[in-house]
């Protein structure tokens, strides 16, 4: 399992990096942490003409609070996010999500940007970005633009990034007050990709009723799936088991075509989404109280 031949560049600036992507028009691949890319190279399933390594480009590795937003540079190692005191204290949902990402040995190398740009539908960070409504900053030949999470994940392993665009930062909003969260998944083993997972937030009003909820299912479709009908069921309602049961059922129906593979059939995934939807909403509501 040895990679095929390819060329390698380690630009020092974003401009150089973009230029290289343009120059090699679709034959170039960006290298960040390599946890997804290098296995594909070893299996000869990826055959780029050139690898553009972002490791030496400055300004892409940071965890910064910017008002009520947490700005994470694309080349920030997942482990840095996990161990960041700022994240642990004020962004516990993000912290919890990172704990599910593979194993520490992968998180030491894998990057936040790499995971988002790779867009594996069973990955935690894309789902988190969608549930929190994160914004992705990208740089390309036409300059800089911001892409919202809802538009960012297009389909299986595909984002809205153009071939010569580079994701440079992800910006996560902080959860509003009286908001509880849940990161719940079922995987074959600890650290494996989720067979199905749910990320949920529930915000309570001052009477203790659900004001808003956000619900994202992952591992079930070609991208993380938002479940707006289920979310709307919670608005104004008292948080209780029967409500979460109904919402879970509804969320499961909002998956178009659940994935099917050796580990789980489409039917099973849909039912997992129902069960986990219920459990996640219950947990989030309990945390909010």
Partner 1 sequence: MAADVPRTIAELPTSAPRFVGRPVARVEDPMLLTGRAEFIDNLSLPRMLHCAILRSPHAHARVVAVDTAAAERLPGVVAVVTGEDAKRWTQPTPTVPPGWGAHCLASDKVRFVGEPVAAVAAVSRYVAEDALELIGVDYEPLPPVVDAAKALEPASPLVFDERGSNVMLQRVFTWGEVDAAFAAADHVFTERFRWHRLGANPLETFGVISQWDPVDGSLTCHGSFQSQFHMGLARAAVLGLPSHKVRMVSQPHGGSFGGKGGARGTDITALLSRKSGGRPVKWIEDRMEYLAGGASQAWDRHYEVSLAVRRDGTVTGLRVKLLDDLGATAEGWGAVSAAKPLAAFTGCYAIPAAQYDLTIVATNKLPGSPYRGMGPPPHNFVLEQMMDIAARELGLDPAEMRRRNYIPKDRFPYTIASGNEYDSGDYEAALETVLTMGDYTKLRAEQAEARKRGRWLGIGLVNTIEPGVFDWNAYAIVGQPGTGVPEGATVAIDLFGKIVVKVGFALEGQGQYTVVSQVLADYFGVDLGDVRVVPQDSLSAPPHFGPGGSRLGVAITGAVLGAADRLRQKLVAVAARLLQTTPDAVELMDGKLRIRGVPGAEMPLAQVSAVMLARSDLLPPDVDPNPEATYVWTAPGRTTADDQGRAKSYLTAANACHLVLVEVDVETGKVEILRYWIADDCGTRLNPATVEGMIQGGVAQGVGAALLEEYVYDDDGQLLTSTFMDYLLPSVYEVPMTEKKALCTPSPFTPLGAKGVGESAMHTTPAAIMCAINDALVPLGVRATAVPASPHRLWKLVQGARKA
Partner 2 sequence: MPASRHITVTVNEQPYEAVVEPRTTLVDFLRGELGLTGTHVGCEHGVCGACTILWNGRAVRSCIMLAVQADGGTIMTVEGLGREGALHPIQQAFLEEHGLQCGFCTPGFLMSIYELLERSPDPSDEEIRDTLGGQICRCTGYQAIVAAVRSAAAKLRTGAGGYG
How many chain residues are in contact with partner 1, going by CB under 8 A? 25
User: Is residue 282 a contact residue for partner 1 (CB under 8 A)?
Assistant: no
User: Is residue 191 a contact residue for partner 1 (CB under 8 A)?
Assistant: yes
Q: Which is nearer to partner 2, 62 or 103 (CB)?
A: 103
Residue from 14, 57, 75, 79 that binds partner 2 (CB under 8 A)?
79
Neighbours of 211 (CB within 10 A): 17
Structure tokens at 170: 């992800």
Kindly write out the interface string for residues 108-127 of this chain, putting x where it contacts partner 2 by CB under 8 A and - elsewhere: xx------------------
User: Is residue 23 a contact residue for partner 2 (CB under 8 A)?
Assistant: no
Would you give the DSSP letter of residue 70? E
Residue from 189, 206, 207, 256 that binds partner 1 (CB under 8 A)?
189
User: Rounded to 5 degrees, what are φ and ψ at 25?
Assistant: 30, 70
User: Is residue 106 a contact residue for partner 2 (CB under 8 A)?
Assistant: yes
How many chain residues are in contact with partner 2, going by CB under 8 A? 33
User: Rounded to 5 degrees, what are φ and ψ at 267?
Assistant: -60, -45
Residues near 270 by Cβ (< 8 Å), separated by ≥ 6? 220, 252, 253, 255, 258
Structure tokens at 246: 């109904």
Beta strands in 149-219 (DSSP E): 153-155, 158-159, 166-173, 179-186, 196-204, 210-218
User: Rounded to 5 degrees, what are φ and ψ at 187?
Assistant: -130, 160
Would you give the DSSP letter of residue 109? T
Q: How far is the CB of 73 from partner 2 (least distance, A)?
A: 17
From the list 80, 81, 64, 75, the residue with the least C-alpha distance to 17 is: 75
Q: How far is the CB of 262 from partner 1 (least distance, A)?
A: 5
The SS3 call for residue 72 is strand
32 binds, among partner 1, partner 2, none (CB under 5 to 8 A by kind): none
Please report which helix (H) or strand (E) contains residue 281, including its range. Answer: helix 266-288
Restricted to residues 228-267, the positions that interact with partner 2 (CB under 8 A) are none
Restricted to residues 241-270, the positions that interact with partner 1 (CB under 8 A) are 261-265, 268
User: Is residue 42 a contact residue for partner 2 (CB under 8 A)?
Assistant: yes
Phi-psi region of 62 (alpha: psi -120 to 50; beta: other; left: phi over 0): beta
Q: Quick one: how far is CA 72 from the chain centroid? A: 13
Q: How far is the CB of 143 from partner 2 (least distance, A)?
A: 29
Q: Which is nearer to partner 1, 3 or 34 (CB)?
A: 3
- Partners of 91 in the β-ladder: none
Restricted to residues 157-186, the positions that interact with partner 1 (CB under 8 A) are 186
Restricted to residues 30-59, the positions that interact with partner 1 (CB under 8 A) are 43-44
The site for partner 2 (CB under 8 A) is made up of 1-8, 10, 31, 34-35, 38-39, 41-43, 50-51, 53, 55, 77, 79, 99, 102-106, 108-109, 190-191
The site for partner 1 (CB under 8 A) is made up of 1-5, 43-44, 186, 188-193, 195, 261-265, 268, 271-272, 275-276
């Amino acid at each position: 399992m040895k990679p095929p031949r390819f060329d390698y560049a380690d630009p020092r600036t974003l401009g150089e990096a973009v230029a290289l992507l343009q120059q090699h028009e679709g034959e170039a691949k960006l290298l960040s942490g390599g946890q997804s890319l290098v296995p594909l190279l070893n299996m000869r399933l990826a055959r780029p003409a050139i690898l553009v390594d972002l490791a030496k480009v400055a300004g892409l590795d940071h965890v910064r609070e910017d008002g009520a937003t947490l700005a994470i540079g694309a080349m920030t190692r997942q482990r840095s996010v996990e161990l960041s005191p700022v994240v642990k204290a004020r962004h516990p949902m993000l912290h919890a999500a990172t704990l599910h990402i593979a194993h520490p040995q992968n998180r030491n190398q894998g990057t936040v940007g790499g995971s988002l740009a790779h867009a594996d539908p069973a990955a935690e960070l894309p789902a988190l970005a969608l549930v929190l409504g994160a914004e992705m900053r990208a740089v390309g030949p036409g300059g800089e633009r911001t892409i919202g999470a809802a538009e960012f994940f297009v389909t299986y392993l595909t984002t809205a990034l153009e071939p010569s665009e580079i994701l440079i930062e992800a910006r996560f909003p902080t959860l509003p007050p009286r908001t509880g969260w849940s990161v719940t998944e079922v995987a074959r083993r600890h650290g494996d990709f989720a067979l199905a997972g749910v990320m949920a937030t529930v915000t309570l009003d001052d009477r203790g009723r659900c004001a808003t909820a956000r619900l994202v299912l992952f591992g079930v479709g070609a991208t993380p799936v938002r479940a707006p009908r289920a979310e709307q069921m919670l608005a104004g309602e008292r948080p209780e088991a029967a409500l979460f049961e109904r919402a879970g059922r509804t969320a499961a129906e909002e998956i178009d075509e659940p994935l099917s593979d050796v580990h789980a059939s489409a039917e099973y995934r849909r039912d997992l989404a129902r069960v986990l939807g219920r459990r996640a909403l219950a947990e989030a509501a309990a945390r909010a109280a």
